[in-house]
Structure 1
Amino acid sequence: MHILQAIVQDVQARSQLLPLLRSPLLGELLAWLFLHPEEGYSVVELATRFQVSASTVSREADRLTETGFVREDRRGNMRLLRADLSHPAARPLTDLLALTYGPAAVLADRLAPVAGVHEAYIYGSWAARYAGEPGPPPRDVDVLVVGDADEDDLAEAARAAEHQLAREVNIHRISSASWRSPESDPFLATVRSRSLHRILPD
């Protein structure tokens, strides 16, 4: 019961991607840690990444370490957090997080090394659920890449992301000039009028 109390959501801050969670931030933190289990991240790093206060991340970290999902290492005054893969629920939780909050973490990793990617956004149903709009679970992930990246490189990144996320990833590339003038492209104007989740630069 104690573990359930630590993760059950406040209904008014409901995560639309994974409604079992207390808040979207909890989903973001867990996904980032469990999809990068080899790394340790400071409270300040995580607060900067998710654009919240360090005290907010610290409170979530207290709950997660108490329940055993996350462990912490101390280096002087620095508190480093990482997923605890010895937890009995680590594997199913990782799979669940990959399906829900995983696209932001995975696609940031896959697209960052690709030359010519100036900006990248997730749009469509995943972005809408992330933003808190109710609706059915997203079946695929739509990505908008701004820049002049090679289409083959983007396709390779999409295939690698699909393997990790267990769902289809669709990447649509546009030029920087088009991004600056969305009124000239009905598709782009529609995309920009709806929910967008920026993944690069972070």
Structure 2
Amino acid sequence: MQARSRLLPLLRSQLLGELLAWICLHPESSYSVTELAQRLGASQSTVSREADRLVEAGLVREVRRGNLRLLRFESDNPLARPLTELMALTYGPAPVLAELLPAVDGVAEAYIHGSWAARYAGEAGPPPRDVDVLVVGDADDDELADAATAAERLLGREVNMHRLSTEAWHSTAGDPFLTSVRSRPIYPLVKPEASS
């Protein structure tokens, strides 16, 4: 049994929040169950069961192409706009930033930390008011600021970018900021093996 969502407690699981956010915040795209399972780190059968419920509720449209099952957000549903806003405010940082940051040259790794990552990890507390992002690498600060602004428009909240060099991130020196970040939950956006 999956843990109940702390980002949006009315959801029965984290996976449902992640699935809804990804589909809601990419309404122009269709995704296979296999692709969504890989993206969300879940089994195909679990994603398929959640998708069945969303299709039945009229929140997701399903198209079959042979054995391929494609899912797309049902933007004509009367719940579409408020659900998209709710997903952007709760689970939105992960899919939005995971798309924006890899496009910025020099991003070797990136993580969400702070209150959003803590709620995602299941820690109790109030809803996060902002999103704290740690970027590792030599990305240009202006490009990171542009990515933060684009994310803020989509998420409806402040996005704080903090950039560190790769050497500083992997250092064992007692930097108070790094000690604080490392002692709390973090959510990976750009993993080292995914960087170029």
Shorter-chain TM range is over 0.9
Instruction: Find out whether 1:124 has 2:135 as its counterpart.
Output: no
TM-aligned CA distance change 1:114 to 1:98, over 3 Å: same
d(CA) in 1 for partners of 2:95, 2:42: 17
Instruction: Find out whether 1:169 has 2:154 as its counterpart.
Output: no
Q: CA shift at 1:182, angstroms?
A: 4.1
**Candidates 102, 107, 111, aligned match of 2:101:** 111
Structure-1 residue corresponding to 2:8: 18
Aligned residue identity for 1:24: Q
Instruction: Find out whether 1:36 has 2:65 as its counterpart.
Output: no
Count of aligned pairs: 192
Cα deviations across residues 33-87 of structure 1 (Å, max 9, x unaligned)? 0100111111111111111110000000111101111111111111111110011
d(CA) in 2 for partners of 1:189, 1:74: 49
CA contact (8 A) 1:72 1:82 kept: yes
Which TM-score applies when normalising by structure 2? 0.94
Aligned residue identity for 2:188: R
Structure-2 residue corresponding to 1:76: 66
Structure-2 residue corresponding to 1:4: none
Cα deviations across residues 111-150 of structure 1 (Å, max 9, x unaligned)? 1210000111000000000011100110000000010000
d(CA) in 1 for partners of 2:169, 2:34: 32
CA contact (8 A) 1:116 1:149 kept: yes
**Candidates 32, 40, 48, aligned match of 1:58:** 48
d(CA) in 2 for partners of 1:43, 1:164: 25
CA contact (8 A) 1:124 1:142 kept: yes
d(CA) in 1 for partners of 2:44, 2:188: 21
Question: Counterparts of 1:83-162 in structure 2 under 5 Å?
Answer: 83-162=73-152
Q: CA shift at 1:184, angstroms?
A: 3.9
CA contact (8 A) 1:182 1:189 kept: no
d(CA) in 2 for partners of 1:71, 1:27: 17
Question: Counterparts of 1:175-186 in structure 2 under 5 Å?
Answer: 175-186=165-176
Aligned residue identity for 2:185: S
Q: Provide structure 2 residue ranges, at least 5 long, that are not aligned to the other structure.
A: none
**Runs of 4+ in structure 1 over 4 Å off:** none
The sequence identity of aligned pairs, in percent, is 68
Structure-2 residue corresponding to 1:195: 185
Aligned residue identity for 1:141: V
